[in-house]
Amino acid sequence: MPYITAADGAQIHYRDWGTGQPVVFSHGWPLSGNAWDTEMKLVADNGFRAIAHDRRGHGLSEQTWSGNDMDTYAADLAALIETLDLHDVILVGHSTGGGEVVRYAARHGAGRVSKIVTAGAVPPVMVQSESNPEGLPIDVFDGIRAGVLADRSQFYQDLSAAFFGTNREGSTISQGARDEFWRQGMLVGLKAAYDCVKAFSETDFTEDLKALTVPMLVAHGDDDQIVPIADAAEKTVTLVPTATLKVYPGAPHGIAGPYQEAFDADLLAFIRS
């Protein structure tokens, strides 16, 4: 299996499909690079090189005790891109991965990144504060941490309903999709799963977003119950002059079903443009 070595020696697993301009995918919490399988095949089938890594502590990557923070995640992504000597890179990030690619592009990606795509991404910042009164209260994230510690297997099963919107009338998302969410979640080390909650909820990406100058597609479902669109995508596009907002009516946080079909078509059109 292919691995690269991060700056602190951590082993980061990745998959590399196809040839052509590289499209690098970053996954959400508590998933792995496998969450992007459909999109990886799509872009590889259409003449691009698709690469997805498992964030440290997730999937098949090393379960490190330290480094479960956004700065290190971005540095790990930099190590992947530099080790593979990738240029003219298109970054694609979902949820936590959206924050990861934004921080990477702002702090490490000069001269390497050509486009950015985010979907249901966490920037600018999720947690409520005096400067971000529209954010979610810290109690929400404390509850996630408590659920992870108490019984993460049941917690991930329950969370999958809001993640995919199966608690909404008319949802067509399968039990199999929810089971796959649980399966990937159970591969995450407990320390990484716990620490990553702080990383995705409390990291402020405002200055990172302001530093972006490449074309950016900001995709978001308007029924996202995990990362509300009003405090995320709608703010992001006001900070990035090169960004275009694409709203998917009724779509949830998880990329599946009709949302996935529409997003994949837009993704392919954007990376080809």
pLDDT digits (tens, 9 = 90+) for 146-173: 999 999 999 999 999 999 999 999 999 9
Give the residue among 125, 151, 257, 129 at the shortest CA–CA distance from 204. Answer: 125
Among the listed residues 76, 195, 208, 224, the single catalytic one is: 224
Are 124 and 230 in contact by the 8 Å Cβ rule? The answer is no
Give the residue among 115, 158, 140 at the shortest CA–CA distance from 23. Answer: 115
Average pLDDT over residues 20-38: 98
Please state, in angstroms and rounded to a whole number, the distance separating the CA atoms of residues 28 and 51.
Answer: 15
Phi, psi torsion values for 121, nearest 5 degrees: -80, 155
Tokens of residue 142, six digits: 């404390």
- Residue 253 annotated among the catalytic residues of the structure: yes
3-state secondary structure (DSSP) of residue 43: helix
First and final C-alpha spacing in the chain: 33
Average pLDDT over residues 125-150: 96
Among the listed residues 95, 195, 201, 208, the single catalytic one is: 95
3-state secondary structure 170-191: CCCCCHHHHHHHHHHHHCCCHH
Give me the percent of the chain exceeding a pLDDT of 90. Answer: 99
**Facing residues of 5 across strands?**
11
Please state, in angstroms and rounded to a whole number, the distance separating the CA atoms of residues 109 and 45.
Answer: 26
One-letter amino acid at 146 equals: A
Average pLDDT over residues 13-17: 98
Residue ranges making up the domain that contains 23? 3-272
Q: What is the pLDDT of residue 228?
A: 97
Q: What is the pLDDT of residue 60?
A: 98
- Residue 224 annotated among the catalytic residues of the structure: yes
Give me the percent of the chain exceeding a pLDDT of 70. Answer: 100
Average pLDDT over residues 220-243: 97
Instruction: Give the tens place of pLDDT for each residue, 41-93.
Output: 999 999 999 999 999 999 999 999 999 999 999 999 999 999 999 999 999 99
pLDDT at residue 1 tops 70: no
Half-sphere CA count of 220, side-chain side, radius 13 A:
27
Number of domains in the chain: 1
User: Taken in order 108, 114, 118, 123, is the CA torsion positive or negative?
Assistant: positive
Q: What is the pLDDT of residue 195?
A: 98
Are 248 and 149 in contact by the 8 Å Cβ rule? The answer is no
Q: What is the pLDDT of residue 135?
A: 94
Q: Would the pTM of this model clear 0.95, i.e. be above it?
A: yes
Residue 132 sits in a domain of what CATH number?
Answer: 3.40.50.1820
Supply the mean pLDDT for the chain: 97
- Residue 45 annotated among the catalytic residues of the structure: no
